A and B are shown apart, each in its own frame.
Chain A
Amino acid sequence: MTSYAWILLVAYLAILFLIAWPMSLWLAAVADGRLPRWLRPITRLEAGVYRLARVDPAAGMSWKTYALALLAFNTLGVVVVYALQRWQVWMPLNPQSMAAVSPDSAFNTAVSFVTNTNWQGYAGEASMSYLTQMLALAVQNFLSAATGIAVAFALIRGFAARSAAVIGNFWVDVTRITSYVLLPLSLVFAVFLVSQGAIQNFSAYQDVATVEPVTYQQPKLGTDGQPVKDAQGDVVMEDVTRNAQTIAMGPVASQEAIKMLGTNGGGYFNANSAFPYENPTPLSNFVQMLSIFLIPAGLVFAFGRMVGDQRQGVAVLAAMTVLFVAAVLVVTLEEQAGNPVFAPLGVDQTASEVQPGGNMEGKEARFGIAATTLFAAITTAASCGAVNGMHDSFTALGGAVPLVLIQLGEVVFGGVGAGLYGMLIFAILAVFIAGLMIGRTPEYLGKKIESFEMKMTSIAILVSPILVLAGTAIAVLTDAGRAGVANPGAHGFSEILYALSSAANNNGSAFAGLSANTPFYNTLLAVAMWFGRFGVIVPVLAIAGSLAAKKRLTPGAGTLPTHGPLFVLLLIGTVVLVGLLNYVPALALGPVVEHLMSWSGR
């Protein structure tokens, strides 16, 4: 690793923890409904919404009602996002006359944005109208993020409560999180992004006169508009010369801000945060990386505060940070080492004061290696899925790092809300394993962990590996699945494994060579995304409800302390062990084989 890569990592973590602390104070205040007096004009508006909705904001919900409300709200989201894509051709703000999105793609995208996955089978600037981007996709960036945070709030309340029947009010949670956390942060962040060069307008795509014309080949079209074929049945190509470049426009910055803050990751443009209008400068890139982890890290501190013991939050954060730093080191070392295939061709891959060196395929010159690999680790540790370089072109082990981070279940910081509740599920499993070893009923934060909690924990932990492995098996066994593969050999298998891992764990990044905009993948991945999201959320809410009803015990001499280094190690061990046991055979067929091949000169 270059010294710049070290400085970048240290500066990143230092600033992150510095800003996550005030974030946690505000998150805890919003969770408890302790809103300051100067927000009075806005809280009046909020109260008006509840009156119209006939919701009593002071009334809590049982976990079942909470789950039902959450599922209903998200289902409505799928219907609306689907409809807006299908009808965009008749709607306003469509200067490029984008056609209706196909039914399978629209369905996939609707599920994808509602589940906070933001997997993208489509290319944004070539398929979505401005209205679809802002009113369908960006709205779900807010609402899916708010849903995740709401679930984390509910679970924390479950731990903090004493013999309570309710875990909060979903409508109040989702409204307050959106209005008081996500919206103000996004507004400031969006304006900052514009200052760096992100665009924000409603103009039609701009044609600019290029300095040099470009000549390329395209299929010759007959008078009927169909490609002309020669006697052999091959398509006839013709030379075309263009003197202009068409540059995509749109309301990008507003969507970009919440895309990062909400760990959504669905890019306005196909190239996502690699595209200069989304992520124009090294500074915008640094702030984007901070914005991905801001709320997940803030929530961990807020958790400690809300359960009345800051050390509990710090322990969880320590486990996350250790796993994260290990991942950053591996991916940065591997990418900086470069591609062994290029060396004999006379390519200079050495880092210096005048070039980044390393494996630059799929990376941007302004970011180089370190700012791309750090971004890749962050975006896959959190379930963000935004990319500023193409993971598909990473080296074998470099590309394995994002894949493994996703497969660990998105608990290393993780998605907003989802990372914390996912990690707390692992914490429950860790105290359970420790309890088995010493022969005591396990407890966490003073709550006895009993058979109902363990059943729900098992479901929450096993649902995504089952979806990933079964889905990958289906895809490699069918012609429709294999047809999407872009790269030959082991790498092609990795593309499929990555797609299913990304979908079932709600990440959304891709080994993007895979042609996934087909009815087969659109359906398979939508199923994986839906159950990967709500197949975890419902058991987590069940645990929240069950824990809330219990008494809080005071720790005794036999209680395993859950704030020391021993517990941090136990938690890391549990996460890694469960992840590895599930995925080692599959990883051996993909990145491991590829790595062995790349250094054997074959």
Chain B
Amino acid sequence: MNAIIRPMFVCFVALSVLTGIAYPLAVTGIARVTFPWQAGGSLIRQGDTVVGSALIGQNFSEPRYFWGRPSATGPFPYNAAASGGSNQGPLNPALAAAVKARIESLEAADPANTQPVPVDLVTASGSGVDPDISLAGARYQASRVARLRGLKPEQVNALIDGLAEGRTFGFLGEPRVNVLKLNLALDGMTG
């Protein structure tokens, strides 16, 4: 039996030290030297205060801001310490009700807008902290944001196009725009 017990402990301890301590510390060390900003969370600073992360969305509900994806995290939306989706099934009546309510609030904030609503604006993201919306989702909201901020729609659309990200290598991912960056830029414009 000792032929099994002894190698069991020795191999387990040796491999645990290697993969559970040496390896994560090595990655941390390399990351700190090569990509310190990313390793720390891609945080956006304004002066001394951290106003968010380029990768983590924030909740926006005021009509003068672009709104992001609906978030299903609890107890409040865009909780970046308790991530997750709604996990509602496609036929769950609660899902249809939630989508209906989201369409109504989009239309209430911009009654003149008669375009169909892009699906990503009314469906909850998988992470609950999705930083992006589709270009269609941003353009749908451009007229509202422009009106409430006294800007020309072309100015707002130019801002969207300036911050838009396309498909990587032409085929990976989806065209999109980061909502926090967009709103910070808006606040910068109107001062």
Residue of A134, A195, A211, A491 touching B183 (CB-CB under 8 A) = A211
The CA-CA distance from A208 to B54 in the complex, in Å, is 12
A402 within 8 A of partner (CB)? no
- For A195, the closest partner residue in chain B by CB is B35
B155 within 8 A of partner (CB)? no
| B132–A366 touching, CB < 8 Å | yes
Residues of A within 8 A of B127 (CB): 269, 271, 274-276, 364
The CA-CA distance from A598 to B89 in the complex, in Å, is 11
Residues of B within 8 A of A175 (CB): 11, 14-15
Residues of A within 8 A of B174 (CB): 282, 355-356, 365-368, 371
The CA-CA distance from A174 to B82 in the complex, in Å, is 35
| B34–A191 touching, CB < 8 Å | yes
Chain B 88-107 near chain A by CB (<8 Å), digits 1 or 0: 11111101100110010000
Given A171-B7, A364-B130, A367-B174, A135 contacting B21 (CB threshold 8 A): yes
- For B55, the closest partner residue in chain A by CB is A276
| A390–B87 touching, CB < 8 Å | yes
Residues of B within 8 A of A271 (CB): 83-85, 126-129
| A211–B51 touching, CB < 8 Å | yes
The CA-CA distance from A338 to B119 in the complex, in Å, is 9
| A76–B9 touching, CB < 8 Å | yes
| A352–B136 touching, CB < 8 Å | yes
B28 to chain A, nearest CB (A): 5
| B38–A197 touching, CB < 8 Å | yes
A346 within 8 A of partner (CB)? yes
Given A253-B31, A355-B119, A365-B174, A80 contacting B12 (CB threshold 8 A): yes
| B41–A277 touching, CB < 8 Å | yes
| B119–A275 touching, CB < 8 Å | no
| B89–A216 touching, CB < 8 Å | no
The CA-CA distance from A494 to B92 in the complex, in Å, is 13
A102 within 8 A of partner (CB)? no
The CA-CA distance from A347 to B146 in the complex, in Å, is 23
The CA-CA distance from A203 to B61 in the complex, in Å, is 30
Residues of B within 8 A of A138 (CB): 19-20, 23-24
Chain B 52-85 near chain A by CB (<8 Å), digits 1 or 0: 1111101111100100010000011111111111
B189 within 8 A of partner (CB)? no
Residue of B23, B83, B171 touching A8 (CB-CB under 8 A) = B171
Number of cross-chain contacts by CB at 8 Å: 404
A357 within 8 A of partner (CB)? yes
Residues of B within 8 A of A216 (CB): 75-77
B16 to chain A, nearest CB (A): 5
| B60–A212 touching, CB < 8 Å | yes
Chain A 1-24 near chain B by CB (<8 Å), digits 1 or 0: 000100110010000000000000
Chain A 308-352 near chain B by CB (<8 Å), digits 1 or 0: 000000000000000000000000000000110110011111001
- For A287, the closest partner residue in chain B by CB is B172
| B55–A277 touching, CB < 8 Å | yes
A123 within 8 A of partner (CB)? yes
| B38–A247 touching, CB < 8 Å | no
| B81–A247 touching, CB < 8 Å | yes
B112 within 8 A of partner (CB)? no
Residue of A186, A210, A281 touching B59 (CB-CB under 8 A) = A210
| A208–B10 touching, CB < 8 Å | no
A200-216 contacts to B, CB under 8 A, are 200-203, 205-212, 214, 216
| B59–A282 touching, CB < 8 Å | no
B88 to chain A, nearest CB (A): 6
A88 to chain B, nearest CB (A): 14
| A196–B38 touching, CB < 8 Å | yes
Dominant SS among interface residues on chain A:
mixed
| B87–A486 touching, CB < 8 Å | yes
The CA-CA distance from A77 to B136 in the complex, in Å, is 49
| A69–B8 touching, CB < 8 Å | yes
| A354–B89 touching, CB < 8 Å | no
B120 within 8 A of partner (CB)? yes
| B8–A73 touching, CB < 8 Å | yes
A410 within 8 A of partner (CB)? no
Given A212-B59, A283-B168, A359-B90, A347 contacting B83 (CB threshold 8 A): no
Residue of B7, B50, B184 touching A53 (CB-CB under 8 A) = B7
Residue of B59, B90, B115, B124 touching A339 (CB-CB under 8 A) = B90
B39 within 8 A of partner (CB)? yes
| B83–A361 touching, CB < 8 Å | no
Residue of B18, B52, B117, B175 touching A210 (CB-CB under 8 A) = B52
Interface pick from A391-399, A456-464, A580-588: A391-399
The CA-CA distance from A112 to B80 in the complex, in Å, is 25
| A274–B92 touching, CB < 8 Å | no
| A212–B90 touching, CB < 8 Å | no
The CA-CA distance from A282 to B9 in the complex, in Å, is 41
Chain A 247-260 near chain B by CB (<8 Å), digits 1 or 0: 11101011101100
The CA-CA distance from A108 to B171 in the complex, in Å, is 40
A481 to chain B, nearest CB (A): 18
B156 within 8 A of partner (CB)? no
| B65–A211 touching, CB < 8 Å | yes
7 closest Cβ pairs, A-B complex: A282-B173, A274-B126, A513-B87, A491-B89, A355-B136, A368-B174, A53-B10
Q: List 17 A-B contacts (CB under 8 A).
A: A8-B171, A49-B11, A68-B4, A76-B8, A125-B82, A194-B35, A199-B41, A210-B51, A211-B51, A211-B58, A276-B56, A285-B172, A349-B119, A389-B85, A487-B87, A487-B92, A512-B84
* Residues in A lying within 8 Å of B, measured CB to CB: 4, 7-8, 11, 49, 52-55, 65, 68-69, 72-73, 76-77, 80, 123, 125-126, 134-136, 138-139, 142-143, 171, 174-175, 178-179, 182-183, 186-187, 190-191, 194-203, 205-212, 214, 216-218, 242, 245-249, 251, 253-255, 257-258, 269-271, 274-277, 280-283, 285-286, 338-339, 341-342, 345-349, 352-368, 371-372, 387-390, 392-396, 486-489, 491, 494, 511-513, 594, 597-598
Supplied contacts A211-B65, A366-B174, A393-B90, 9 more A-B pairs, CB within 8 Å: A178-B18, A183-B18, A209-B49, A211-B187, A270-B84, A341-B91, A345-B96, A361-B88, A594-B89
* Residues in B lying within 8 Å of A, measured CB to CB: 3-12, 14-16, 18-21, 23-24, 26-28, 30-32, 34-35, 38-43, 49-56, 58-62, 65, 69, 75-93, 95-96, 99-100, 103, 115-120, 122-137, 139, 167-169, 171-176, 180, 183-184, 187
